[in-house]
Amino acid sequence: MHKRGHLNKLLTTVTSYDQGNAITLDNIFKSPLQKKGDELLRENKKYAVVYNNTEGGSYEVFRKVQEQEVKKNIERHGLPENATNDVKLLYQSNEHHAQKLSDNASVSPIIKQYNSLKEQHPDALLLFRVGDFYESYKEDAVKASKYLGIDLTMQKNGTQVIGFPNNALDKYLPMLIKAGERVAIVDHLEMVQRKQENPSKRHEEDIKLDRQQSSQKVSDTISATSAQQQKFIDDIKAAMGTTRMVVLPDFGTQKGVVAGTGEDKGISLSRVYAWNDNISFAGSVPGDDAQKRRYYHPENIRPEFYDYLVNEVKKATAPQLITENGQKVTSANLYESPKQEGKYFFYARLDGVGLHPKAVKPQDVEAFMKQELSVKDMFEKYYPTKMAKQLDKEDFDSLKLSDGNELTKFRVYKQRNEEKSHFGEYLLYAEMGNKRFHATPLSHDQLDAYFDRTQSKGQIAEKVIGEQLNLKSAYEKYKLPENIPVQEVRVRKVPEGDWLISASLGDKGQTPERKVSSNDLYSLFKSKTATREQLAAKYLTEDIKDLSRSKPLERSQGLKI
């Protein structure tokens, strides 16, 4: 289905069956990509189709729901313990907003300022400069008290607070930074001062981020504006072009790429996905198992890394090779099998679509690593049909054979009946006149030629069932071993009616006799498209090699009387 483009049909079928059933909060996600190996195939206003090759080629269809529908569900049924993190975050955001509205009328100006800034920058610990002291409030106060060893105090309205003198900042700020916190220093301005302030100064930033690195403070922005985020999305999508997913090089441990609280340290982003109106990154952090993948969105990414990520996407999408058909090859490289040490595979993406990995010969692994083999060399060797010129529809549909005859029917299909032989394989069915040829499996190379349209249907059939068609071209591949003199090839009929073939190697003796199929006998005697030597190569090659390694036969001498 993935290759044949039946996704629209799948979405139509889903639409007809989907009755808009009630949602379950344990299966609601912001992104449909939840498992390692997930790939977005198609998305419309109502559904998203996800394919996962690592789980046996499974397909999943996700129905889109509005945030309002999720909120109503929570109001009606409550928040279950097994709700997804995305649902819990939505719930917390809603609760925080409601609490803010109810408390806003009774809180002090400084707490209003704290609530406003905390909503904009939830990942920062806010330190307010109030007169000759620095103060922190609510959950930030609880954190700071733990890290600094300062007792919490309670205001009359129940707000928790800690404070320390201005001259102690150089002592306490490094302690907060070392604990992994991102600290923001805020100048508290009273409402009266705001009214008296020169309007030209009202646009100055109220918040500055102080960081400690090697005992030095560095200023930085906390998060991007919506305009910056949208530009970031547009730049990434422009770099990706029509590609929906790009595999990125290992970013190593770029600390701070994702603006989180504790689990973003040492994050490594590995993929970027393009949606209709957004993007998302997949990544991991140290300690994650191989199956776990985390997803991050533009609002999670720190703005100082925007240009860095855009450039990495541009490098990842830059073609390492352009085929004769104009297709772009990216991410072409070797990787070692996680299950078998020393075994390598060649993998690449063609126009954003991952190709099936190919096992690489040891000598080619070494040559590629030494740059003695280029990406083009590897493609020509392991993906030859991707490099070949595609046929147009008329030439591809041609059913002509090399002997001048023409097939009347040709079909490639996958055996889906578990009770039949070759289950799961692609088979060829063909007809020529009143003759039928079916249930013949195709090799990977033959399938590549078919799906990549580099050979006509007649040429593919000739390679697959050429012997059944008694074609001369089908027997040209059979050749006797070189440097082994074969004196005679015999084909004889035995009383039981079978025909047997054998070869003589002179003083080495004669090979065992092997039964010849009726089809090959027709090619030998009737159509004369096969020779005795070719049939000997087909049936007796191993016997000839074994016999050539044996000692010559000793001949007994007769005695005269």
pLDDT digits (tens, 9 = 90+) for 390-419: 999 999 999 999 999 999 999 999 988 888
CB 269 within 8 A of CB 248: yes
- Kindly give the pairing relationship between strand 58-63 and strand 47-52: antiparallel
Overall average pLDDT of the 162-185 stretch: 80
Q: Same domain, yes or no, for 305 and 232? A: yes
pLDDT greater than 50 at residue 200: no
pLDDT greater than 90 at residue 456: yes
CB 174 within 8 A of CB 164: no
Distances (CA, A) of 144 to 112, 148, 475: 20, 6, 83
Least confident of 274-278, 372-376, 518-522: 274-278
Q: Same domain, yes or no, for 271 and 186? A: no
In a domain, residue 44? The reply is: yes
Q: What share of the chain is helix, strand, coil (3-state, %, to 5)?
A: 35, 25, 40
Instruction: Annotate 528-542 with three-state secondary structure.
Output: CCCCHHHHHHHHHHH
pLDDT greater than 50 at residue 437: yes
What pLDDT score was predicted for residue 206?
Answer: 38
In a domain, residue 120? The reply is: yes
In a domain, residue 522? The reply is: yes
| pLDDT winner (highest mean) among 127-136, 178-187, 534-543 | 534-543
What pLDDT score was predicted for residue 303?
Answer: 79
**Residue 147 — φ and ψ, nearest 5°?**
-75, -30
pLDDT greater than 60 at residue 550: yes
pLDDT in tens, 1-15: 444 456 777 777 777
List, in sequence order, every beta strand (DSSP E) within 58-181: 58-63, 124-130, 133-137, 153-154, 160-165
What pLDDT score was predicted for residue 431?
Answer: 94
Residue 363's pLDDT band (cuts 50, 70, 90): very high
The set of residues, in sequence order, having a beta carbon less than 8 Å from that of 332 and lying 6+ positions away, is 320, 321, 346, 347, 348, 349, 375, 378, 379
Higher pLDDT among residues 513 and 308, named by residue? 513
C-alpha–C-alpha distance, residues 408 and 399, integer Å: 7
Q: Same domain, yes or no, for 232 and 295? A: yes
Higher pLDDT among residues 537 and 116, named by residue? 537
pLDDT greater than 90 at residue 533: yes
Least confident of 16-20, 64-68, 199-203, 489-493: 199-203
The set of residues, in sequence order, having a beta carbon less than 8 Å from that of 427 and lying 6+ positions away, is 412, 413, 414, 415, 438, 439, 440, 441, 442
- pLDDT cut 70: percent of the chain above it: 82
| pLDDT winner (highest mean) among 132-141, 262-271, 278-287, 499-508 | 499-508
Name the domain boundary from 65, 90, 115. Answer: 90
Least confident of 29-38, 62-71, 207-216, 471-480: 207-216
pLDDT greater than 50 at residue 261: no
In a domain, residue 97? The reply is: no
Residue 173's pLDDT band (cuts 50, 70, 90): confident
User: Within 13 A of 561's CA, how many CA atoms are on the CB side?
Assistant: 0
- Kindly give the pairing relationship between strand 124-130 and strand 182-187: parallel
Q: Same domain, yes or no, for 132 and 236? A: no
Spatial CA neighbour of 95 closest among 74, 116, 73, 124: 74
Handedness of CA 16, 20, 26, 27 (dihedral sign): positive
Q: Same domain, yes or no, for 403 and 368? A: no
DSSP 8-state class, residue 340: S
The set of residues, in sequence order, having a beta carbon less than 8 Å from that of 502 and lying 6+ positions away, is 489, 490, 510, 511, 512, 513, 514, 540
What pLDDT score was predicted for residue 404?
Answer: 92
pLDDT greater than 60 at residue 531: yes
Number of domains in the chain: 6
Name the domain boundary from 165, 187, 220. Answer: 220
pLDDT greater than 60 at residue 547: yes
SS3 147: helix
Domain span at residue 61 reads 7-90
In a domain, residue 230? The reply is: yes
DSSP string, 230-261: HHHHHHHHHHHTT-SEEEPPP----TTSB--S
Q: Same domain, yes or no, for 259 and 241? A: yes
The set of residues, in sequence order, having a beta carbon less than 8 Å from that of 466 and lying 6+ positions away, is 473, 474
C-alpha–C-alpha distance, residues 313 and 311, integer Å: 5
Residue 521's pLDDT band (cuts 50, 70, 90): very high
In a domain, residue 95? The reply is: no
pLDDT greater than 50 at residue 203: no
Name the domain boundary from 469, 500, 535. Answer: 469
CB 464 within 8 A of CB 446: yes
What pLDDT score was predicted for residue 393?
Answer: 93
What pLDDT score was predicted for residue 481?
Answer: 93
Quote the longest CA-to-CA distance of the chain: 144
Q: Same domain, yes or no, for 128 and 202? A: yes
And the tokens for 258? 């994702």
Task: Indicate which CATH number applies to the domain containing 115.
Answer: 3.40.1170.10
Spatial CA neighbour of 489 closest among 531, 517, 448: 531
Q: Same domain, yes or no, for 199 and 240? A: no
Residue 202's pLDDT band (cuts 50, 70, 90): very low
CB 64 within 8 A of CB 29: no
Q: Same domain, yes or no, for 126 and 173? A: yes
- Kindly give the pairing relationship between strand 321-322 and strand 514-515: unpaired
What pLDDT score was predicted for residue 479?
Answer: 95
